[in-house]
């Protein structure tokens, strides 16, 4: 039985990756933090006796800030594969917590790589790198050759982790890969990322549970994919002959405004826009109600206008293709959030 360690196992990607590996018969060792209330909702369905998967999930308490803990785990498990998904992953919040974001995202990666180097140097390593590395890029679409210009504390910390991964590969011959993943979403996405915030709030407005969506920069454009497609790419990267770095993206660009319009269209509401800049409002064309408003607290000190990926290398060398693109992604997320809002209304 193959063994894998996943840091950040109870996050969006960690939960889909654990599900994928358990389905392939892996023994999965997940690191979870001690929290005052349990935050394991995403992995509960496949943890324990009734999991209904062929592999086995084992959870360990740990933290990317605790070097000894990571070293002990590598010494004890000596896994075949390590997926480093743990991070303070919110770009906006990284401006409020730059030091903490650096400790977890940058130094945490170094701690893990170094523990692997000492205890299991033959293990294969996946680093959760990001399109945020490109910042406001010089060219579009972005490939593995595009220059990095990170413009948030989150992205600068991830740049350090990217290069440490390359460094351990080059210096020690470790099998270490960077997946440069563009935004990917799902019904398991954290509620304060823009896609999930929109689908959840629109579903709740339609169910009469709330009145208005408060939003920041609606002109931002992203290349949004579907998380289960992206964790498949992570696994593929660790099954090759040689370690390498890959861009994973859909190649489609859409704006936050378009996402809002599509989410409302799903519940049968047409949005008309009125006003400009921070005074702009989205109006329900059939009732005249103001259902979208700008709240400047969601503006970032600096934002990325647009990021678009070219995943040709992953297509060619990994045989990877995204199965779900923007229109279907919005439908999948709306289906789940409409169902959740309807059950909340019945409670």
Q: Give me the active site residues, please.
A: 130, 132, 154
Using the rule CB under 6 A, is 215 a contact of ligand F7E?
A: yes
Choose among ligand F7E, ligand NAP, none what residue 256 binds, the Cβ cut-off being 5 to 8 Å by kind.
ligand F7E
Footprint on residues 18-77 left by ligand F7E (CB under 6 A): none
Q: Which listed residue (73, 77, 104, 164) binds ligand NAP by CB under 6 A?
A: 104
Residue 11 to residue 89: CA distance in whole angstroms: 10
Which of these segments, 59-67, 70-78, 169-177, 238-246, binds ligand NAP (CB under 6 A)?
A: 59-67
Footprint on residues 83-102 left by ligand F7E (CB under 6 A): 89, 91-92
Footprint on residues 32-51 left by ligand NAP (CB under 6 A): 33, 35, 39
Residue 126 to residue 179: CA distance in whole angstroms: 7
For the beta carbon of residue 45, count every other beta carbon within 10 angstroms: 13
**Helix 326-346 crosses helix 194-206 at what angle (to 10 degrees)?**
50
Q: Which listed residue (130, 142, 165, 200) binds ligand F7E by CB under 6 A?
A: 130
Lay out the site mask for ligand F7E across 275-314 (x = CB under 6 A, - = otherwise): -----------------------x-x--x-----------
Query: 40 or 290: whose CB is closer to ligand NAP?
Result: 40
Choose among ligand NAP, ligand F7E, none what residue 342 binds, the Cβ cut-off being 5 to 8 Å by kind.
none
Number of residues that bind ligand F7E (CB under 6 A): 21
Q: State the minimum distance, in angstroms, from the CB of residue 31 to ligand NAP.
A: 6
Kindly give, in sequence order, each residue whose CB lies less than 8 Å from that of residue 228, ignoring residues fewer than 6 positions away: 16, 20, 186, 324
Footprint on residues 4-33 left by ligand NAP (CB under 6 A): 7-8, 10-14, 31, 33
For the beta carbon of residue 288, count every other beta carbon within 10 angstroms: 8
Query: 104 or 236: whose CB is closer to ligand NAP?
Result: 104
Query: 120 or 161: whose CB is closer to ligand NAP?
Result: 161
Query: 70 or 180: whose CB is closer to ligand F7E?
Result: 180
Handedness of CA 199, 200, 202, 203 (dihedral sign): positive
Beta bridge partners of 221: 255, 306
Query: 79 or 135: whose CB is closer to ligand F7E?
Result: 135
Lay out the site mask for ligand NAP across 115-154 (x = CB under 6 A, - = otherwise): -------------x-x------------------------
For the beta carbon of residue 336, count every other beta carbon within 10 angstroms: 17
Kindly give, in sequence order, each residue whose CB lies less than 8 Å from that of residue 339, ignoring residues fewer than 6 positions away: none
Query: 112 or 334: whose CB is closer to ligand NAP?
Result: 112
Lay out the site mask for ligand NAP across 74-93 (x = CB under 6 A, - = otherwise): -----------xxxxx----
Q: Footprint of ligand NAP on this chain (CB under 6 A)?
A: 7-8, 10-14, 31, 33, 35, 39, 63-65, 85-89, 104, 128, 130, 181, 183-184, 190
Q: Footprint of ligand F7E on this chain (CB under 6 A)?
A: 89, 91-92, 130-132, 182-183, 192-194, 197, 215-217, 220, 222, 256, 298, 300, 303
């Amino acid at each position: 039985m193959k063994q894998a360690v996943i840091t950040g196992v109870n996050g969006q990607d960690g939960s889909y990756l654990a599900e994928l590996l358990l389905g392939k018969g892996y023994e999965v060792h997940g690191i979870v933090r001690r929290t005052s209330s349990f935050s394991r909702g995403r992995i509960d369905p496949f943890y324990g006796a009734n999991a209904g998967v062929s592999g086995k999930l084992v959870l360990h308490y740990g933290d990317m800030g605790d070097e000894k803990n990571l070293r002990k785990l590598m010494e004890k498990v000596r896994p075949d594969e390590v997926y480093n998904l743990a991070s303070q992953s919110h770009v906006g919040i990284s401006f409020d917590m730059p030091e903490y974001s650096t400790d977890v995202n940058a130094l945490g990666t170094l701690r893990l790589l170094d523990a692997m180097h000492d205890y299991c140097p033959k293990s294969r390593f996946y680093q959760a790198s990001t399109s945020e590395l490109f910042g406001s890029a010089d060219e579009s679409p972005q490939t593995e050759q595009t220059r990095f210009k990170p413009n948030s504390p989150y992205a600068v910390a991830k740049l350090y982790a990217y290069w440490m991964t390359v460094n351990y590969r080059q210096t020690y011959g470790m099998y270490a890969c960077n997946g440069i993943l563009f935004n990917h979403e799902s019904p398991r996405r954290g509620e304060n990322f823009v896609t999930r915030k929109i689908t959840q709030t629109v579903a709740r407005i339609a169910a009469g549970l709330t009145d208005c969506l408060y939003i920041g920069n609606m002109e931002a454009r992203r290349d949004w994919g579907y998380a289960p497609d992206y964790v498949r790419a992570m696994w593929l990267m660790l099954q090759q002959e040689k370690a390498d770095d890959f861009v994973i993206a859909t190649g489609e660009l859409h704006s936050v405004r378009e996402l809002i319009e599509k989410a409302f269209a799903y519940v049968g509401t047409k949005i008309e826009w009125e006003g400009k800049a921070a005074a702009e409002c989205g109006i329900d064309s059939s009732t005249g109600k103001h259902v979208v408003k700008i709240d400047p607290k969601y503006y970032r000190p600096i934002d990325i206008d647009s990021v678009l990926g070219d995943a040709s290398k992953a297509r060619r060398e990994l045989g990877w293709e995204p199965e779900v693109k923007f229109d279907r992604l919005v439908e999948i997320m709306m289906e789940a959030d409409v169902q959740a809002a309807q059950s909340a209304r019945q409670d």
